[in-house]
Chains A and B, each alone.
Chain A
Amino acid sequence: MSSNTPNATELLAKTQQELNALIAEGNRPNPLMVGIHTGGAWLAEHLYNELSIDSPLGSLDISFHRDDFDQSGLNPKVQPSNLPCSTEGRHIFLVDDVIMTGRTIRAAMNELFDYGRPASITLIALLDLQQRELPVQADIVGGTLSISPDQTVKLTGPAPLALEIRNRSED
């Protein structure tokens, strides 16, 4: 583990704080929180437990919506997506651990629309690696980090949450 590995607990605290502030504004009533498998679902659970949201927590596995099927094929461990209710007319809090290229978020938004037409989607991420390939931005982010192209960042969990910088060759 390298010395510049961000502290997940600090990032989580900052994310939670910003989320509380956003909810206090009152523009996103009765939100539906949805975490993206696997890291995003863990993070969503942490955030959800600190909030008083009426709707149950949802989760998405975006494997069936990925844009690299022709190159990588099917993910062998597809988890069923679990949305407790329709997204029709709802304010969605979409949660992922790390945002990098934006492709996962595009796939997740496509899948969310299969469950209905949301009123809004707010993107929440613990860490932004700033290597965007699509015009997708997080509304709330715990922190940013620059890594070299041969590195990735992995969230371990579900509790406690911790971040690890890995070399791609180790994956």
Chain B
Amino acid sequence: MFEQTDPSQVQLTPNGELKHFITTEHLSREILTEILDTADSFVDMSAKQVKKVPLLRGKTVVNLFFEASTRTLSTFELAAKRLSADVLNLNISTSSTSKGETLKDTLMTLHAMHSDMFVVRHSSSGAAHFIAEHVTPDVAVINAGDGRHAHPTQAMLDMLTIRQAKGEFAPLSVAIVGDILHSRVARSQIHALRTLGVTDIRVIAPNTLLPSHIESLGVKVYTNMQQGIKDVDVVMMLRLQKERMNSALLPSESEFYRLYGLTMDKLALAKPDAIVMHPGPINRGVEIASSVADCERSLILDQVTNGIAVRMAVMSMAMSGQAKSRPILTGEEL
């Protein structure tokens, strides 16, 4: 863990505009709605022959992935390219840190290459915040997942998917099911849902996969899935994070599936028009039945499409906030 102050101060310019995107926590409903509205305009872009806008033309975006990822990295890369940025993908887990270079030295090196934005994924909670606050405050930092702390762009693409399907947030009942303990996605989802006005948020998991004091986030806890899923409008499944499980928290995958896997039988207890979401990659037959994952109420692939639009929105908003807080160079200074 890194030492840090209140992230809301780091994320916003003095005028309250986004300049880094570290967490959905402490951001206002106005900012979250602005992200969703901006993303909506980018969703419409897919109708164009040329699926590109020149907003980040001439800017350099570095995807700094200290932890493996396929879909998050590729959607961030595509989002940056559709904004016309130049993109560099660095897989640091196999690079200089293994030669002994510190995180700070790696970043200062990239800073010296005149990067404009870092998209950071790291296994330590607070890594993106640390970079934004202490290392390179004049480079826009987007958190692409830090430890168990936050995965804010994933949460916002989920919010966009919910808004497209359901419209208003306030009347919804939302269930988050599965490995809450290891999930940075769940934390970011809960913060975003609450800020956007959802009052009935339920988390469903075995006791061994629930963090202590999760109720303090304003959610209702269920260890029985049949009870928890009753009459909800949205079911958000989480991936079972096998790579993060150091101890025996589960008797077996098949036991987990029997109790917490989303099957058609369990989905029937939710509202008839309830939607199903999953951040991917999905473990079929572990968290979710194939019949559910592939049914028309499953919006898993819409989430992927929306992921590009949300990442474009956050990147352009953060770059906009950075641009406004930088002095404009005139010809003489250049």
Contacts and interface: CB of A to CB of B under 8 A. Distances in A.
Contact of A74 (B44, B49, B316): B316
Interface stretch (A78-86, A126-134, A157-165): A78-86
B52 A71 contact: no
A80 B317 contact: no
A40 B37 CA distance: 22
Contacts of B37: 77-78
Contacts of B48: 114-115
Contacts of B50: 113-115
Contacts of A78: 37-38, 41
Contact of B328 (A71, A77, A79, A80): A71
A135 interface: no
Nearest to B83: A64
A67 to B, nearest CB: 9
A73 B41 contact: no
A69 B34 contact: no
Given A61-B41, A65-B54, A73 B49 contact: no
A80 B323 CA distance: 23
Interface string B308-334: 000000001101110110001000000
Interface in A47-62: 61
B316 A110 contact: no
B55 A69 contact: yes
Nearest to A61: B41
A83 B317 CA distance: 24
Mostly helix, strand, loop or mixed at chain B's interface?
helix
B53 interface: yes
Interface residues of B, number: 23
Interface residues of A, number: 24
B249 interface: no
B324 A81 contact: no
A70 interface: yes
B317 A74 contact: yes
Nearest to B57: A69
B323 A73 contact: yes
B47 interface: yes
A29 interface: no
Nearest to A67: B54
Contacts of B54: 64-65, 110
Contacts of B86: none
A79 B324 CA distance: 22
B312 to A, nearest CB: 10
B40 interface: yes
Contacts of B55: 64, 69, 74
Interface of A: 61, 64-65, 69-74, 76-83, 86, 88, 110, 113-116
Given A69-B323, A73-B324, A81-B44, 18 more contacts: A64-B53, A65-B53, A69-B320, A70-B328, A71-B324, A73-B323, A74-B316, A74-B317, A76-B34, A80-B40, A80-B41, A80-B44, A81-B41, A82-B44, A88-B49, A115-B48, A115-B49, A115-B50
14 contacts: A64-B316, A65-B53, A69-B55, A69-B320, A69-B323, A71-B323, A72-B324, A73-B321, A81-B44, A88-B49, A114-B49, A114-B53, A115-B50, A116-B49
